[in-house]
Structure 1
Amino acid sequence: MEGSIVRLPEVVALKKKYKAYLYLDEAHSVGAMGPHGKGAVDYFGLNPADIDIMMGTFTKSFGAAGGYIGGTKSLINHLRLNSHSSIYSSTMAPCVVQQIISSMKIMLGKDGTLEGKRRIQQLKWNTRYFRRRLQEMGFIVYGNKDSPVVPLLMFMPSKIASFCRMCLERGVGVVVVGFPATPMTKCRARFCMSASHTKDMIDKVR
């Protein structure tokens, strides 16, 4: 919601110091951040083994459905045997699994091309460019410069519906968020950047 990135190296250091467990949500970062698109761990160049439980979704960067939990073999076996959502849910459809595998191969360059790397670099450029141009225009934008989630503050709840309608009239689809999902005075439009956005598209929004 804030377009922020956790200060993961410091969190990992605290985890080691106090012998705690670390659960990391990579839903908005996997496939979108880091030199290899592997998320916040990749972004900071950390060892994935330092994260006890890693969670993410296949609905965003992978364009599929469902999600994942990563951890030790004993942890995953425990979840399989005791988690109601695992026991009572149906298995993924083969076409969804294939979509995930194909997307992952592209991201990691295992499809024999540099398309995955190109898209990751393009997304990074799009994100920084869009954020910078909004700030130059005087808008207040939350979050980290490399976060593809770009919250633009509107402050007044009465602006939300009008802003959304005016954007749609101009061919721009936005997600607007207000209370109770945000504090009353921190209503916002939430832009989610994509590698498929061209500079012309971004300039049109701006």
Structure 2
Amino acid sequence: MNGWIEARLRERLDHVRARGLWRRHRTLNGPQTPEQVVDGRPVLAFCSNDYLGLAADPRVAAAASDGLGRYGLGAGAAHLVNGHTRAHAALEEALAAFTGRPRALLFSTGYMANLGVLQTLVGRHDTVFEDRLNHASLIDAARLAGCRTRRYRHADPVHLARRLREQRTETARLVITDGVFSMDGDLAPLPELAHTARRYGAWLMVDDAHGLGVLGRHGGGSCGHFGLGMDDVPVLMGTLGKAFGTAGAFVAGSETLVEGLTQFARTYVYTTAMPATLAAAALAAVGIATRETWRREHLAALIARLGAGLERIGLSRPPGASPIQPIVLGDTGRAIAAAARLLEHGLLVPAIRPPTVPEGTARLRITLSARHTEAQVDRLVETLDRVLARMPPEHTDLNPPGGRTTR
């Protein structure tokens, strides 16, 4: 039987290699900053989720060091045994305040948070309504919860309303969506989704991994951007590994929601708590993100500058005001080749291919950080202009110079 499994894996591996979809690790030597050394060569990176530039902030590192001295490294147990420290409690209190909700609950990753929420809130007789471009963790969470699922067209509240009308039941109904979609960078129409969910007696859950800390005047994310509160979005999931520059995730909401997750979410109950030193670092990062509004202002200015530059060289300005700024090239080979040629010029911009994005929508996925400078953004635009101008419109080379491919 083991021979069958290995043969099947080899067949799948050969398939992705032949289609130019092979993925390789890159090895970063040093901190997460725009100027990096990757695979032994200096590059200017436009691919990090470190949106506010906090991953290498010395104050966050100092908080982690202090937490290491106070608590040691490993948590040693699950939260409900004796792995929940004062650092964890303080971080949960800060995240609840940051999101304007009564309580927050920490999870080790965003994937585990989404799994825990859906496994707790819905079962096989319930229905989840999901945006067709939701993050993989939301899609998998709905599948593993064993509930019925109905997809609605991307960012289309009218189609969602039709789905809700078609599926009238007396059981639980949950609408789930990204706040900022990770591959396109566009925002979900949360006010319309919230109104539609309320109208049909459903709850709305927002995965705001890419919005929290970045959008809204005070960094409140997609909900803050639209001025929505807990009555509009009862379930809010956020991550700590993006704008807050650390790692982990949380769910914020009502007392009943958080206590229900504490008691019933298997991905919370049956796993070791995140290290307290990480919680201490995240607490410092949340404080910095709250106080230093210039980070969001500078990031917004860079996004506008990049958009204007792309239009100047004949490319479409990406939708939305998030740091995720994709350039859709369509053909997989063209995207791979463009990324390889940018790397030859010292710029690290990943090519995103199927199955991460739909067929025919391969792209360069640019992400900006508050640590980037205007000059670095200008260099990116100028290099893109040179690289794309020298490529044939329907380039299909799946083996770019050097034989390296990107994600």
What TM-score, normalized to structure 2? 0.47
1:54 aligns with 2:229: no
Q: For the residues of structure 2 that align with 1:174 and 1:89, how far apart are their CA atoms?
A: 35
Task: Name which of 201, 206, 210 aligns with 1:19.
Answer: 201
Aligned counterpart in structure 2 of residue 181 of structure 1, from 356, 359, 366: 356
**1:33-182, aligned counterparts within 5 Å?**
33-109=215-291, 116-144=292-320, 146-182=321-357
Q: Which structure would you say has the larger Rg? A: 2
- SS of match in other structure, 2:306: helix
The residue identity in structure 2 corresponding to 1:119 is R
Deviates more, 1:161-170 or 1:150-159: 161-170
Q: Is the 8 A contact 2:209 2:238 kept in 1?
A: yes
User: For the structure 1 residues 45 and 22, does the alpha-carbon distance in structure 2 shift closer, same or farther, using more than 3 Å as the test?
Assistant: same
RMSD: 1.4
Deviations 1:52-79 (A, max 9, x none): 1001110011111111111212222222
CA drift of 1:46 comes to 2.2
Deviation larger for 22-31 or 70-79: 70-79
**Is 1:194 the equivalent of 2:365?**
no
> 1:28 — aligned with what?
210
Q: Which runs of 4+ in 1 moved over 3 A?
A: none
CA contact (8 A) 1:30 1:56 kept: yes
Which runs of no fewer than 5 residues in structure 1 stay unpaired? 110-115
AA partner of residue 143 (structure 1): P
Note the C-alpha offset of 1:141. Answer: 4.4
TM-score of the pair, normalised by structure 1: 0.91
For 2:267, the aligned partner's letter is S
Q: What is the DSSP-based 3-state SS (H/G/I as helix, E as strand, rest coil) of the residue aligned with 2:330?
A: coil
Whole-Å Cα distance in 2 between the matches of residues 160 and 125 of structure 1?
27
Please tell me the residue identity of whatever aligns with 2:278: V
Aligned positions, number = 199
Q: Tell me if structure 1 keeps the 8 A contact 2:244–2:289.
A: no
Q: For 2:246 and 2:282, how far apart are their aligned partners in 1? A: 6
Cα deviations by residue, 1:120-147 (Å, 9 ceiling, x for unpaired): 1001111111122112211234421x11
Equivalent-residue separation in structure 2 for 1:79 and 1:91 (angstroms): 15
CA-CA distance at 1:155 after TM superposition: 1.1
